[in-house]
Structure 1
Amino acid sequence: MITILKPGMQMSIQDQGRVGSRHLGIGQSGCVDPYAQIITNRLVGNPDNHPVIEITLGLAEIQFDNDYYIALHGTDMKASVNGNAVQPGWSFYIKKGDILKLNAARHGFRNYLAIGGDWHLPTAILDSYSTDIAAGFGGLHGHALKAGDRFDITPKYATKIGLGAMLPPKSTHIRILAGPHASILPDNTCDKFTEHSWHISPSSNRMGARLLSDECKLAHSLSLPSMAVMPGSIQLPPNGEPIVLLNDAQTTGGYPIIGTVIEADLRHFAQLKPGDFLHFEFVSLEQAHLAQQKLVAHLNQLAIALKYKNAKS
């Protein structure tokens, strides 16, 4: 059993989300950084798509009523147990009665907590335990975790403690593919979008990262019928302030789409907090495939290393 003592800014149960249901109007949800989820799960011996707890900003506390292997990954929140530091990217043994404390995030925005064992949650919806906070289902009764929430986890010790793994490097240089409306937007809109820097608006959330610029406005009067959108779609409202759709985004929208963030770079938005600056670059489909292959290779190398380490131990 674990108990949420302090949830911080936002804490929720997520896995890789709901795939194949957007035609029904059901969003994806899931971890904004699925690679952090996979890596932390591997460090504690869980399957890749096992649920984890996504922690936003920090300032959180969780109590454990059993002995578990845990792992954190993402930004450094100066986590500790009984005064002992818990470093991100390493498996850690936590004992019954211990309290995991997380301070404010330092150089990012989100952390992911994996706990080794079988999580006893309400029934999965469309093959996912992810919390869709806006729709009110999934996770633990469809809401972000709050103080006093509890759920049971049967521990499993399927790996070794002291295992470590790095996340793929994070970046503020975001690669994108040209969107379906790039050619019908006002002249030079795409050039202006990539030539200027943007920063994350305080009104951003898991639905989308709103972008602001002190140098550039991309206002337009283009009106379009609604069309399908997905995480990574970059919508351009008439006010000229783009929105990068994220995991909890709606399934349709009527704003022009200037581009789409490549799958390999969408994970960077897990750590981009309000005020952070970023740049965009248009790339080819081949470049997008190569970037994704590099991430797959990273996970494959980790699988080999963990298999060797566990066998050797």
Structure 2
Amino acid sequence: MSITVIKPGLLVTLQDTGRYGYGKFGISPAGAMDSFAYLIANRLVGNEDEQAALEITWSGFAVEFERSLWVAITGGDLTPTIDGERVPMWRPVLIKAGSCLSFQQPVAGCRAYLAVSGGFDVPIMMNSYSTYLRAGIGGYEGRALKKGDTLSVRLSRLPLEAPERFLDEYGGFFTVRWFVSAGGYTDSNREIEIRVLKGRQYDDFDEFSQQALFDEFFTVTPQSDRMGYRLSGPTLQVIHSNEYISEPVAVGTVQVPADGQLIILMADRQTLGGYPKIAQIASVDIPLLAQLPAGGKIRFREISLPEAEQLSSARIRELRLIEAMIKRKLKEW
């Protein structure tokens, strides 16, 4: 069983939790930009967390289903429709064989995630299914999807026989009544607050730069991608022009190159960086940032390391509670 790409969209790749342990070889972890939405999508269709899902950026993507499949769509609201009818998000949806799933105009966020029950049947490379575009590895032939690509799907983890009888009555798809709340993190408001810790070289910046980091808005530019978000805003400068030794970087590292404009490293980041690091984004806010499109505005708020750890622990507890709820609902079938 499989699905076929009818329209490739702006950028659609297969991603999972990331490819870790290969940084010493210069291999980026890659992985889902919005890890929260990715994890929920897989759990809604009974998959393990590591199964590959489609990361759909912006709009224009469409696929046709060879046979009936359970799917879940999470993340940004890109107006998903099945044969022209709006399909609910953040819940299991059984799509009828021969139906076409399309993503239209973004109304909130800019990245959606599509998981299928059983998972996409693609080769694992370096312990991950994730597509790393710059190296051309992982996912579907190491690249973004193109028109005519066919994705095989493993056997469903959810029952198909009983709900299929509803498809003729409901049309091209059938949905359950329960759902997971997105919690407002994909709100269409394009001004967001991002919590950060001071970076390793924060004290190397002049007083104006330190104050501007927390007082001013920074705008995501069109030059942003999965490797990093380039921001426009006040020009930040170090007190003295220093030669910095390249050192490991992480998702959410905020660097300041020679032009004084911020770069936030994202999923496809390089493994080492030599620019001064003025801040580090709290991991809990990376999904929020991942859903901010070009033109979106960011204001940074400083928090302490203990606060960041508490936020991370709270997110882990939240995910565990959601997982328990989903498992209970799925067992009712």
Range of TM-score over shorter length: over 0.9
- 1:260 maps to 280
- 1:32 maps to 33
1:149 maps to 2:146: no
- 1:89 maps to 90
Structure 1 residue ranges, 4+ long, deviating more than 6 angstroms after superposition: none
- 1:129 maps to 129
The code of the aligned residue for 2:274 comes to: G
> Residues 210 and 244 of structure 1 are in contact (CA less than 8 Å); yes or no, is this contact kept in structure 2?
yes
Q: Distance in 2 between matches of 1:85 and 1:267?
A: 24
Q: For 1:112-127, list aligned pairs within 5 A.
A: 112-122=113-123, 124-127=124-127
Q: Distance in 2 between matches of 1:25 and 1:294?
A: 32
The code of the aligned residue for 1:135 comes to: A
- 1:7 maps to 8
Q: Distance in 2 between matches of 1:226 and 1:296?
A: 32
The code of the aligned residue for 1:131 comes to: T
> Residues 78 and 103 of structure 1 are in contact (CA less than 8 Å); yes or no, is this contact kept in structure 2?
yes
- 1:249 maps to 269
Tell me by how many angstroms 1:88 deviates.
Answer: 1.6
Q: Distance in 1 between matches of 2:84 and 2:105?
A: 16
Query: Counterpart of 2:284 in 1: which secondary structure?
Result: helix
Tell me by how many angstroms 1:187 deviates.
Answer: 2.9
Deviations 1:245-282 (A, max 9, x none): 00001111211000111111111122110000111011
> Residues 53 and 119 of structure 2 are in contact (CA less than 8 Å); yes or no, is this contact kept in structure 1?
no
Deviations 1:176-195 (A, max 9, x none): 11111111222342221111
Q: Distance in 2 between matches of 1:110 and 1:87?
A: 16
- 1:227 maps to 247
The code of the aligned residue for 2:235 comes to: K
Q: Which moved more, 1:239-248 or 1:164-173?
A: 164-173
> Residues 226 and 266 of structure 2 are in contact (CA less than 8 Å); yes or no, is this contact kept in structure 1?
yes
Gaps (5+ residues) in structure 1? none
RMSD, aligned α-carbons: 1.6
Identity of aligned residues (%): 32
Q: Distance in 2 between matches of 1:104 and 1:40?
A: 20
Tell me by how many angstroms 1:231 deviates.
Answer: 1.1
Q: Distance in 1 between matches of 2:26 and 2:157?
A: 39
- 2:235 maps to 217
> Residues 34 and 287 of structure 2 are in contact (CA less than 8 Å); yes or no, is this contact kept in structure 1?
yes
Q: Distance in 2 between matches of 1:114 and 1:290?
A: 29
- Are the structure 2 counterparts of residues 118 and 311 from structure 1 closer, same or farther at C-alpha, using a change threshold of 3 Å? closer
Q: For 1:288-303, list aligned pairs within 5 A.
A: 288-303=308-323
Deviations 1:51-98 (A, max 9, x none): 100000011101111110011011111111123221221211112111
Tell me by how many angstroms 1:118 deviates.
Answer: 4.0
Deviations 1:30-60 (A, max 9, x none): 0001110110111111111211000000111
The code of the aligned residue for 1:127 comes to: N
Q: Distance in 2 between matches of 1:263 and 1:153?
A: 31
Q: For 1:181-200, list aligned pairs within 5 A.
A: 181-200=201-220
Deviations 1:167-215 (A, max 9, x none): 34427211111111111222342221111011101100000011112xx
Q: Distance in 1 between matches of 2:210 and 2:9?
A: 38
- 1:272 maps to 292
The code of the aligned residue for 1:218 comes to: L
- Are the structure 2 counterparts of residues 222 and 201 from structure 1 closer, same or farther at C-alpha, using a change threshold of 3 Å? farther
Q: Distance in 2 between matches of 1:58 and 1:260?
A: 30
Q: Which moved more, 1:96-105 or 1:217-226?
A: 217-226
Q: TM-score, normalised by structure 2?
A: 0.89
The count of corresponding residues between Structure 1 and Structure 2 is: 310
The code of the aligned residue for 1:232 comes to: G
> Residues 219 and 241 of structure 1 are in contact (CA less than 8 Å); yes or no, is this contact kept in structure 2?
no
Tell me by how many angstroms 1:157 deviates.
Answer: 4.2
Q: Distance in 2 between matches of 1:271 and 1:219?
A: 28
Q: Distance in 2 between matches of 1:149 and 1:218?
A: 45
- 1:178 maps to 198
Tell me by how many angstroms 1:300 deviates.
Answer: 1.5
Query: Counterpart of 1:154 in 2: which secondary structure?
Result: coil
Query: Counterpart of 1:234 in 2: which secondary structure?
Result: strand
Query: Counterpart of 1:120 in 2: which secondary structure?
Result: coil
Deviations 1:4-35 (A, max 9, x none): 11121100000011122212211010000111
Q: Distance in 2 between matches of 1:234 and 1:60?
A: 31
Q: For 1:8-87, list aligned pairs within 5 A.
A: 8-87=9-88
Query: Counterpart of 1:32 in 2: which secondary structure?
Result: coil
The code of the aligned residue for 1:48 comes to: D
Q: Distance in 1 between matches of 2:242 and 2:232?
A: 20
